[in-house]
Amino acid sequence: MDIAAAPSAAHPVDAVVVGAGLSGLYQLHRLRELGLTTVVFEAGDDIGGTWYWNRYPGARCDVESLSYSYSFSPELDQEWEWSERYASQPEILRYIHHVADRFDLRRDVTLRTRVTRAAYDEDRHVWRVSTDTGRTVTARFVVLASGCMSVPKDPGVPGAGSFTGAVYYTARWPREEVSFTGKRVAVIGTGCSGVQAIPVIAEEAAALTVFQRTPAYALPAHNRPLRGTEIAELKARYPEFRRAQRLSRGGTVFEPPTRSALEADEAERRAAYEAAWGSGLLSGLLRTYTDILTDEKANETVAEFVRSKIRSIVTDPATAELLSPRTFPFATKRPCLDTGYYATYNRPHVTLVDLRTTPIETITPRGIRTSDGREHALDAIVFATGFDALTGSQLAVDIVGKGGVTLREKWADGPRNHLGLVSAGFPNLFTVLGPLSPSVLTNIAVSLEQQVEWITDCIAHLRRNGLTEIDAAPAAEADWGAHVAELAARTLYPAVASWYTGANIPGKPLVFLAYAGGLDRYREECDAVARSGYTGFILS
């Protein structure tokens, strides 16, 4: 954007969108169609959000590429060609660039600009939005499209600053080429990022040491190039497929299971789990029976199946056992989709350090010292230690609502909002993929469209009716919080310490952060609210 023509406090815009990832770019497109002047502030050097920052070796989406893409433009669906079943980070970034160019989105995106503060002016009904470059704009509407996993967690490992070798974070991977050839490399963390990066780093490194605190359930992706015929077949019925996605429970299309795992006998279950394992789908095992996420005994049958697979792949039984998750039910932390993860531990230059028995004592100038007194000499350390999920990116901005109350104060005991979209006392401030919405439990490409479209329709409604403000009603917000908690309580999720509950961040309130009722039900609830003239919201 031309700085001279950039909006300032004296030349307000209608809307500010925070973040130029998949959500922010689509929100811009929609607001522009509505005729709103909109500026998107993006902290990164370029657009892409998650797919800009997470360019670590092996980074790839765990939702199939034909499903993990925008559905709003049938023409875009027809013209874009994915090359692999699961798209790599560079390919997804190319797709996002293509979309930005095709819909001429870049001219309203201001890069290298982080929104630091947003304060509501109650008299003028506008937000004053400040940035780290000193630019301030006023806007009637603000949409936080700043990501559900965009604030990396501080790993909190003592001595981190003393290390003299190279340090990398999967969530902030440099744009320049990183070579591990001939290097002794450590990876700390075995969540989805670590699970994807470890096999690829092992290909290059002279020695790889993985520091694992909690093993993950990782399922084989069976990634492969897409065949021309299957692309053509889907393109022929893309509109119908997109419709089915939108109406689905999680943003991907499948036949829902009808039986309990406990009704099936051992042989039947084994066959179902083998087929799911072979399908290469992240949710394949979850879809086998109705009660995998709601019944501990049913869940244990899947968990043990995955452990048996680990034992069959990893040749050293002690290593196989260390890699076997036993402290939480299957899928109560997000499972990972991998390519060659477990087999990597059969390689002679790959070592697994179990931090449960020998925790990291400190990082030293030369490497990592564990509690057994051993110093692991290293040239590079890769932190794959996760994110301050769902609330992190919103609370990173100093948001001041009505009466001078900050969002941080209001959410001190956990996030509160109505429909996961608007928090009472913070009018005209919407969130995409935020807490208490389906977000991370779904194919986010579908979820973000649903929320962006709801927000856009809501803003259109306000403008059509000469209204200036929408705020959540405190009672509706309390009901929504109780509803989200009640849906979660029907599952095994809330009892497990995970980033879903905020347990990975010291001091973060322990609340199950996502709406577990399914995107289909959530969509119905949001649509019903809009149809009823925005019940549970205060319009003025």
Select 110 or 443, whichever has its Cβ closest to ligand N01.
Answer: 443
The backbone region for 144, taken as left when phi is positive above 0, alpha when psi lies in -120 to 50, beta otherwise, is: beta
Buried b or exposed e, range 74-84, using 16+ CB within 10 angstroms = eebbeebebeb
Contact 350, 208 (CB under 8 A): yes
Select 285 or 440, whichever has its Cβ closest to ligand N01.
Answer: 440
Select 24 or 191, whichever has its Cβ closest to ligand N01.
Answer: 191
Contact 276, 288 (CB under 8 A): yes
What is the nearest approach in angstroms of ligand N01 to the Cβ of residue 386? 2
Q: Is 370 in a helix, a strand, or coil?
A: strand
Contact 211, 204 (CB under 8 A): no
Which residues contact ligand N01 (rule: CB under 6 A)? 60-62, 149, 155-157, 188-194, 196, 211, 213-214, 334, 337, 355, 384-387, 440, 499, 504
Select 331 or 455, whichever has its Cβ closest to ligand N01.
Answer: 331
Select 155 or 165, whichever has its Cβ closest to ligand N01.
Answer: 155
What is the nearest approach in angstroms of ligand N01 to the Cβ of residue 25? 19
Select 292 or 381, whichever has its Cβ closest to ligand N01.
Answer: 381
What is the nearest approach in angstroms of ligand N01 to the Cβ of residue 59? 7
Instruction: Tokens for 142, please give them.
Output: 């603000």
What is the nearest approach in angstroms of ligand N01 to the Cβ of residue 49? 13
What is the nearest approach in angstroms of ligand N01 to the Cβ of residue 355? 6
How far is it, in rounded angstroms, from Cα 460 to Cα 463?
5
Tokens 């999920």 locate to 389
Beta-sheet pairing, 375-377 with 367-370: antiparallel
Phi first, then psi: what are they for 202, rounded to 5°?
Answer: -60, -30
Buried b or exposed e, range 251-288, using 16+ CB within 10 angstroms = bbbeeeeeeebeebeeeebeebbeebbebbbbbbbbbb
Beta-sheet pairing, 136-144 with 166-169: unpaired
How far is it, in rounded angstroms, from Cα 486 to Cα 13?
40
Q: Report, in angstroms and rounded to the nearest whole number, the Rg of the chain calculated over CA atoms.
A: 23
What is the nearest approach in angstroms of ligand N01 to the Cβ of residue 195? 7
Closest CA to 212 of 336, 328, 322: 322
What is the nearest approach in angstroms of ligand N01 to the Cβ of residue 389? 7
What is the nearest approach in angstroms of ligand N01 to the Cβ of residue 499? 5
Select 60 or 183, whichever has its Cβ closest to ligand N01.
Answer: 60
Work out the end-to-end distance of the chain between its first and last CA atoms, rounded to an integer number of angstroms. 33
CB atoms inside a 10 Å sphere around CB 198: 29
What is the nearest approach in angstroms of ligand N01 to the Cβ of residue 262? 28
Contact 349, 202 (CB under 8 A): yes
Select 28 or 96, whichever has its Cβ closest to ligand N01.
Answer: 96
How far is it, in rounded angstroms, from Cα 85 to Cα 90?
14
Q: Which residue has the CB atom at the shortest distance from ligand N01?
A: 191
DSSP state string for 25-76: HHHHHHHHHTT--EEEE-SSSSS-THHHH---TT-B-SS-TTTSS--S-HHH
Name the percent of the chain in helix, strand, coil, to the closest 5. Answer: 35, 20, 45
Select 217 or 537, whichever has its Cβ closest to ligand N01.
Answer: 217
What is the nearest approach in angstroms of ligand N01 to the Cβ of residue 171? 6
Select 188 or 261, whichever has its Cβ closest to ligand N01.
Answer: 188
Q: Is 304 in a helix, a strand, or coil?
A: helix
Select 156 or 348, whichever has its Cβ closest to ligand N01.
Answer: 156
What is the nearest approach in angstroms of ligand N01 to the Cβ of residue 50? 8
Q: Determine the residue type at 59.
A: A
Select 414 or 502, whichever has its Cβ closest to ligand N01.
Answer: 502
DSSP state string for 390-450: TTHHHHTSEEE-GGG-BHHHHTTTS---BTTTB-TT-TTEEESS-TTSSGGGS-HHHHHHH
What is the nearest approach in angstroms of ligand N01 to the Cβ of residue 188? 5
Select 298 or 382, whichever has its Cβ closest to ligand N01.
Answer: 382
What is the nearest approach in angstroms of ligand N01 to the Cβ of residue 353? 10
